[in-house]
Structure 1
Amino acid sequence: MGVRRAAKGVGDFLSETVGDAVAEVILSLLACALLGCLALIAYLSWFFSPRLTIAGVGLLSLFLAHGAWRTFRTPAKRRRRGFAVLTTGGFTLIAMTALFLLLYATGCDCL
């Protein structure tokens, strides 16, 4: 009985280890592809119109700054509505994407 339990434990350990390794490779490839797409978008945007690229980055910065301000300021007694919900959600999405890229794309040697 002890041998069967030990063999089952070793098999479970190997299965979990291989699953973790495969998940890590998939997440790294996904992060590398996302980083490549972001770089391609920036390159194509600058190629077609540098002025519009700078204007778009400025508007995106204002959008994210408003979202960060609404996220981290002391909450008011009233609820968030309209544009504040949009900017807060956008800021949260960008922050989570940046965290994902920081964790998984740091070892990306494709660029």
Structure 2
Amino acid sequence: MRVRRAAKGVGDFVVESIGEAVAEVVLGVLACALLAGLALIAYLSWSFSPLLTVAGTGLLSLFLAHGAWGTFRDPVEGRRRRGWTAVAAVCFTLVAATAAFLLLYASDCGCL
């Protein structure tokens, strides 16, 4: 009975370890693909028009700064975020989550 329980425990450990290794590889490939896609977008936009690329980056930065301000400011009592502030806050949260994902999983990407 003890041998069967030990064998089941070892089998569960092996399955869990292989699952974690596969998940790590999949997340690494996704991070490298996302990083390559972002680099391709930056390259193509710069080759199309450097001036529009800088202007678009500036506008995007202002929009995300507005979202960060809307996310971290103290809310006024009785009012909630509306309109562009809510959209900017959601976009800022998505960009921050993407940056954290890339920081964790693309840092050891061999494509850099």
Match of 1:14 in 2: 14
TM-score with structure 1 length normalisation? 0.98
Match of 1:27 in 2: 27
RMSD: 0.5
Amino acid of the structure 2 residue aligned with 1:103: L
Match of 2:36 in 1: 36
Q: Hey, what's the Cα distance between the residues in 2 that align with 1:40 and 1:73?
A: 34
Amino acid of the structure 1 residue aligned with 2:83: G
**Count of paired positions:** 111
TM-score with structure 2 length normalisation? 0.97
Determine if the alignment matches structure 1 residue 47 to structure 2 residue 29. Answer: no
Deviation by residue 1:50-94 (Cα, 9 ceiling, x = unmatched) = 010011001000000000001111111211111111000000000
Q: Equivalent pairs: percent with the same residue?
A: 70
Match of 1:91 in 2: 92
Where in structure 2 are there 5+ consecutive unaligned residues?
Answer: none
Match of 1:100 in 2: 101
Amino acid of the structure 2 residue aligned with 1:61: S
Q: Hey, what's the Cα distance between the residues in 1 that align with 2:104 and 2:76?
A: 34
Spell out structure 1 runs of 4+ moving beyond 2 A.
Answer: none
Q: Hey, what's the Cα distance between the residues in 2 that align with 1:73 and 1:80?
A: 11
